[in-house]
Chain A
Amino acid sequence: MRTLLFVLKESLSGIHRAKFSAALTILTVSISLLFVGIFYVGGKNVLRIVQEIRGRVGFEAFVDNTATEADIQRLQEQLSQIAGIDSIEYISREQAIEVFKTLFDDTFLNVVEENPLPASFQLFLNPAYVREDSSRAVLRRVAALPGIDEVVYRERVLQRLIQVFDTMRNVLIGLGALFGVLSFVLVSNNIRLTIAARRRIIETLELVGATRGMVWGPFVIQGILEGLIGGALAGMALWALLRVFSWLLEISLRMPPEAFLSLIALGLTYGFLGAMLTVQRRL
């Protein structure tokens, strides 16, 4: 117990005696972990947005103007049996004209005698069917139904957007991993410098009969503490940053509940591994 206290005291005194270096390490670790957090949370939010977009991807299937109420009922049933269609919304000719009026200048409608807009089905795809090949298969089956005049796949732009977001997410995750490695290297380097600066105390410890654990302990605990504090600071900064960006961009950017604890755990792990690796190589 006294030995443990000694090791703990030595590690705290090591941090206290090299305040500037320790503060710099904690700061740099927290910045690089903040990037890890940004990339992780950014990746998560991109994923969420992509899912939302995928939920909105669909077709507009225009119904032949000669279709009767019974035809429409039959079509609705047939559509609901096609795998990959998540939800169906029927827009009658009257509803279509109302929507048109809210969106555009309706003077054009005064010159036509009859409602020119057809009735349609808004078909929303199951996110699993959003991939181009599977969505095309659904489109072909819908277009083949008797009574369907034309099918408009209006989400080509969204498909492209999803591709861009997918790439963005992968890049963000990759950068996050890169900054993670950077944190590890930073802790490791700081411990190396601390060992160099405390060479005299290490020699003295060895000469007066300190066990290996007592010589290593203060450095390992120092690494753990620096990583831990760096991780906690990164978590807090990330939370604040998301609040600011949510407010500025007027969008909902959520901090996943596991993000804060993950950053602390990541800081602790990097601190421990960085210190252990250096201590094993240098002592």
Chain B
Amino acid sequence: MKIIRMKNVQMRYPNGEGLKQVNLTVEQGEFVFLVGPSGAGKSTVLKLIYMQERPGLGQVQVGQFNSAKIRPRDIPYLRRQLGIVFQDFRLLEDRNVFENVAFALRVIGTRPKEIKKRVLRVLGDVGISHKRYQMPYHLSGGEQQRVAIARALVNEPMVLLADEPTGNLDPQTAEEIMQLLEEINMRGTAVLMATHNYDLVKRYNHRVVRIEGGVTLD
């Protein structure tokens, strides 16, 4: 079953850059690499999926949400079904690891007891529960990315969108994060990972979608 479908999507930023022709599908439980050089449009594809941007032409379907029909007030409900991680981790510097992950649950009104249970479980899953009371600035890059992944997973999303998740990490830590994403995928969560690191992609046996100059080449 397809959980993401982008068909003949075009999108243009005011500066003239954007996407010319994007076709992309992600099946339930699948791991897909979206590869391409910097500026090829990888991040824009992800933004279209979590509907921070809307296509000029074509349609983006994510679960039951369609870019042509979705109302702005429904976008938060789409995002609650997605987990999103970035190269720069985007953790809240003013709260500890536990609170960073719990934040995603507090926003959707989860009961405090449930929050504690789920946060501890997901922190255990990403191997960082021993640092749950530490502040983000006391953690290494790899540890911070684990916290970001935990935050993305705590809502049990249908797909994890990862925008260059290893871009700021040394090769060994990048490998550890890749292993973690593999495990997450093996547990059933679909992963769509944008990266420009071809060497890393070659080591994993997953479907690769290339994007160049705003055009996808499957």
Contacts and interface: CB of A to CB of B under 8 A. Distances in A.
Contact of A6 (B72, B93, B109): B109
A282 interface: no
25 contacts: A2-B106, A2-B110, A6-B107, A200-B90, A200-B93, A201-B92, A204-B92, A204-B103, A205-B107, A207-B79, A207-B84, A208-B80, A208-B155, A209-B76, A209-B77, A209-B78, A209-B79, A209-B80, A209-B107, A209-B155, A210-B107, A211-B73, A212-B72, A212-B73, A212-B76
Interface in A37-68: none
A206 interface: yes
Interface in A183-215: 200-201, 203-212, 214
Interface string A1-33: 011001000000000010000000000000000
Contacts of A3: 109
A165 to B, nearest CB: 54
Contacts, number: 49
Contacts of B22: none
Contacts of B94: 17
B107 A208 contact: yes
Contact of A200 (B77, B79, B92): B92
A8 to B, nearest CB: 12
Task: Give the 5 A-B CB pairs with smallest separation, nearest first.
Answer: A209-B80, A209-B79, A208-B104, A209-B76, A2-B109
A74 B84 CA distance: 99
B111 A2 contact: yes
Contact of A208 (B73, B109, B151): B151
A214 B106 CA distance: 11
A219 to B, nearest CB: 15
A65 to B, nearest CB: 92
A211 B109 contact: no
A206 B84 CA distance: 11
Of B78, B80, B107, the most chain A CB neighbours within 10 A belong to B107
A69 B108 CA distance: 94
Nearest to B74: A211
Interface of A: 2-3, 6, 17, 200-201, 203-212, 214
Contacts of B80: 208-209
A3 B73 CA distance: 16
By secondary structure, the A interface counts as helix
B92 to A, nearest CB: 6
Contacts of A209: 76-80, 104, 107-108, 155
Contacts of B155: 208-209
B186 to A, nearest CB: 24
Interface string B63-78: 0000000001100111
Given A208-B80, A209-B76, A209-B80, A214 B93 contact: no
B98 interface: no
B50 interface: yes
Contact of A206 (B77, B79, B108, B111): B79
A206 B78 CA distance: 11
Interface string B168-211: 00000000000000000000000000000000000000000000
A214 to B, nearest CB: 6
Contact of A211 (B76, B84, B151): B76
Contact of B90 (A6, A17, A204): A204
Contacts of A212: 72-73, 76
B52 to A, nearest CB: 8
Of A3, A209, A210, the most chain B CB neighbours within 10 A belong to A209
Contacts of A210: 76, 107
A251 B108 CA distance: 60
A206 B155 CA distance: 14
B207 to A, nearest CB: 25
Of A203, A204, A208, A210, the most chain B CB neighbours within 10 A belong to A208
Given A17-B94, A200-B92, A201-B92, A208 B103 contact: yes
